[in-house]
Amino acid sequence: MTQVWIVRHGQTDWNLQGKLQGWTDIPLNANGVREAHALGFTLQGIPIHSLYSSDLVRAYATATILGTYLNLPVLVDTRLREVSFGAAEGTLHIDEQLLSLHCLETDAEVLQRALDFLAFIHSQHAENRVLCVSHGRWIRTLVKFFSKNEHPVISNTSVTSLISENETWRITNFLS
């Protein structure tokens, strides 16, 4: 049984302002740093085999803080990267139909990237628990797929837990 715990990065100023971040490299704000430390403290002592992160600074900084509590190095994987919102990045959240005109990736492409990552984790870390730090839309895409269209709110430093048994993934827990 392989477990993957997916954490959304800590808060950024653009999260507070309601701006789309996508691939724009926005750092954590002070509250985001506090959130990462609080989660790290909570996870301390839980056996986690490996720690992966998106290459974007807000996720990597969150992962680095978590790694200090877990005594793990951060392994970067670009498949954990947020959806590219293209020209819509830096704007206030807009409706999904309009957003789809600006996105440089389709939901199907993001889902494939996420499923490729899970297949890699399953092949490299079978029978282990792996922690990954990613982004809101990336996580929502997976949750929507595995829960048959649920649209949860993915809060900063929330944890979504997936388990693979017989190469079939399912959501086992969602902490927003």
Active-site annotation, residues: 9, 82
Give the DSSP letter of residue 163: E
Q: Give dist(CA 69, CA 40) in Å, integer.
A: 5
Phi and psi at 151, nearest 5°, equal -120, 75
Q: Which two tokens mark 111? A: 């889902």
Phi and psi at 106, nearest 5°, equal -85, 165
170: three-class secondary structure by DSSP: strand
Q: Give dist(CA 157, CA 74) in Å, integer.
A: 16
Neighbours of 150 (CB within 10 A): 12
Cβ–Cβ < 8 Å for 174, 28? no
Helix axes of 57-70 and 30-43: crossing angle, nearest 10 degrees: 30
